[in-house]
Structures are given as structure tokens and as C-alpha cells.
Structure 1
């Protein structure tokens, strides 16, 4: 197979992406993706994470392969495979739902009722010009995709809550749309009705963070990786008294 043409990166870009490394061994590379960085397919002039992975390529070899994606404005753990066999094994494990993903989100206007449970609402893709949205739909809609999200409340104050989320399926924007559907949109999520100011404090972006990822390691056993919330989210959690 022909190796794709490498992307030329600046020294600053190389240093930036190398600074995101959470874990690395012979077969996998995990990064702590910041908010604002597209995983793949960005339309701007800035390189995507997929392109920045050329910083880790050996001469004449392909870059590590992304196993899954995170929304551009979502931060947290993202996994890549350094070898073709590892990519194949991890891709199959992802499809078989053998990955466990844990997210943190700040929502308004307070804790959901009940404070923990499962959101089981089918979703469909809705294209509007160059933008794509996900919408809750009837189970018998021709484009319906079964979608399930588990949630539990970690902390709550009047007007806001910190939730732990576990998506059982992996639809685009799933957690964002599911939480909006139960009237607890994620703070900073302008696309799906999230508050931009929470109890007098600005939500600078989508307050959604991929905190932990557990998966079958290609060498055997289960690997669990964690990433602490970035400074902007940790600051809002502290200001709201949710820490």
C-alpha cells in the first residue's frame, strides 16, 4: 500500500502535538486533545489532529491512525494505533462496543431528574447547507439510529450540575443532543441550546471533556487512560462550586 504524502509541519506544530501525549508504547499512542482542534476533515487552514500525527511518523512510514474521533470543541482522551495490526484490532473492538468512554459535562439549569439513568432516544442526521446536526426522531424514522447514553450527577448547585456520561453508542453529537432532549443542554453548546453564561460565569466553549477511555490493548488485557479536565473547564467547575 502506498504511504500517503506526509504533511509538512512547522517546529511549533511538532512541539505542540508532542506536548499532547498521554501515553505511548510500541502499538498505541494516546493524546489529550484540546478543544478547538478538529480530529479530521477541518475546513480551515489550520492542520487537523490527523494531519499533526505526521509528527510521530518514522521515515517512509505512515503516521499513527486515529481509532475514533472527538468533536472539534470537545477535549480529552483520543486514541491512535501505531501499527496496521493494532489499528485493525482496535477498530474491530470499537465496532463491537468493547470501548468504555467516560465524559464530564457541565449542564444547566441544574441536576437532571432523575439524577442518574439512561437516555434511550434514536437520532438522525440533518444536513443544513455545509452544517450537520443530529436530531431526536421516532424509532420508525427511515434514518433513525438507535442511541443510548448513561448519565449520573456528580455535583449540583442551583442552576448547574456536573455530570458523568457513558455513551453506549457512538453517534455524532450524541451526548450533546441527548442532554438537550432532557432539557439539560451542555453549557457553551450554542448549536444545541446550551447556556453561554452559567450563574454569572462565562462558558467559554462546549463544556464537554472525554475524561477516560478503557479498551482492549493489542498486546492483551485492558488499558485505561485518563485525562484531567483542561484549565478552562476546571476553572468553571470551581467557580460554580461543582468541584
Structure 2
């Protein structure tokens, strides 16, 4: 008789015993990770704000928020172990940015703060502002709101978002406000303010307008502008406004525009906002 067969379990029950419980596996993301002194200095250099409740980071491009490409890859979530407390608690990321998107990202230091901010995200109490450099600026009006539903599409380990009809069974509402801050005949600098938070929302909505983000290979972005290669996806999370978990008042954190984006704007004669 197998020790896990129904007959065996009934025999245990008759003897007043309980079968031995198998230990639950712990997700790899919750297992403590050793952070080198070099990596601790690196992630510490990303901090733009911290108090007893939250931390704000200026995530560089080419760093995943979570996961990563390969078993030895870095991601910001793992780097939070650099700030682990004696209790074993570490800051928890409240939201994500795409791997190649730079800019502000928020983490919570306590369980109550994590819960509070998570609920604030659900009720859309966060306001996010991004800057993007796009090609085909003639396709963009000075101001426009895109209200185009999106659906997720997966092939193997790769995922995309696609604009779809509102009655598609997988459709998710998606709204983004766009404002052109500076433009030339070849490119434009655009302020992007997503109302919803769908995967790749800003990237897909700009491509839908016919003005994809420069360097965005996945959605048709230009790989060179003015005869020079675009260094990466030209999308930066400039600021984030959220209700602070201590007092509930709005707080805004900002991430300075990175050098590669500044240099690209200068080369294209696009004027960055103050």
C-alpha cells in the first residue's frame, strides 16, 4: 500500500494521526540574497528619497525591475536585500518599469506601507509622468489623449501588448495623455501621462499614433536619428505623485533626466523642460 494512497490515509485517520505535512516551497524572490559591497553601493547611489516608510530610486536603463535575463542577472527587486532589516524585512517594490526604461520607481519599507500603497495603486491614486523621444513627429498633434484598449499577447517567454477592439474578450481599458514639448522635422520630445497602467502602454499608444519611441525595437521605433544610433529605448519615468502612507498627503518624487537622453535631445535640438 502506498503511503499516500486513500487506504493508507484512512488507516492513519483511524489511529487518530495526521499525515506528515510537506513543507511549502518558498518563492526564490523571498529567499535572502547576498549583496556584494559593490552592488550595495550601486543601488544606494540610485536613491533619490527615503524616510521611515518609502524609498524612491532612479532606476537606470538596462536593469530589470524584477526577474531578468539569465540566472546571474541583476534586478532591482533582488538589490533590495541590500537594505534588509534585522527582522528579515526588506523594502518591496510597489510598481515596475520596463527593463530598458529609466526613471523613478517606488519601494515601501514596511508591511503597512506596502499594503497602503498597493491599494492606492488599485484606486489609481498614483500620477506618473514620463518623457519620450519619438520619430515621425508629423503624426503627433500638440496634445492628444489615446483611449485605445489593449490586450496581452505571449509567444514563448516574450510578451507584447496590442491595440484591440473594446469588445475583444481580452481587452483592457487603457488611457494615456500626450503633450509635445519640443519638435523638429525628425523627432519630438513628448510628455506622457498614463491614466491606467497596462503593460507597455505608453510604447504601444505612441506606436498606434504612428510616432513610436526611438530605440523601441519591439514596437517599430527608429534605431537611428540624425545619422546617429539611438543608444536605447528613449523613455524615462520623470516623476511620480502618490499618497504618502504616513499622512495620506500627496508626495512627488522625481528622477533627473539621464545623460544619454540629454545628449540625444541636444543632438536632435529638442529642448528639455526645466
TM-score of the superposed pair, with normalisation by structure 2: 0.86
Give the alignment's Cα RMSD to 1 decimal: 1.3
Q: Does the 8 Å CA contact 1:111/1:156 hold for their aligned counterparts?
A: no
1:227 alignment partner in structure 2: 255
TM-score of the superposed pair, with normalisation by structure 1: 0.97
Q: Give the Å deviation of 1:47.
A: 2.0
Q: Does the 8 Å CA contact 2:137/2:186 hold for their aligned counterparts?
A: yes
Q: 1:13 aligns with which of 5, 19, 39?
A: 39
1:144 aligns with 2:144: no
Distance in 1 separating the partners of 2:66 and 2:125: 23
Q: 2:244 aligns with which of 201, 214, 217?
A: 217
1:38 alignment partner in structure 2: 64
1:73 alignment partner in structure 2: 100
Q: Does the 8 Å CA contact 2:177/2:193 hold for their aligned counterparts?
A: yes
Unaligned runs of 5+ in 1: none
Q: Give the Å deviation of 1:111.
A: 4.8
2:265 alignment partner in structure 1: 237
Q: Residues 105-116 of structure 1 correspond to what in structure 2 (within 5 A)?
A: 105-116=132-143
Unaligned runs of 5+ in 2: 1-25
Q: Give the Å deviation of 1:153.
A: 0.3
Q: Residues 111-130 of structure 1 correspond to what in structure 2 (within 5 A)?
A: 111-130=138-157
1:23 alignment partner in structure 2: 49
Q: How many residues align?
A: 242
Q: Does the 8 Å CA contact 1:124/1:134 hold for their aligned counterparts?
A: yes
Distance in 1 separating the partners of 2:69 and 2:100: 14
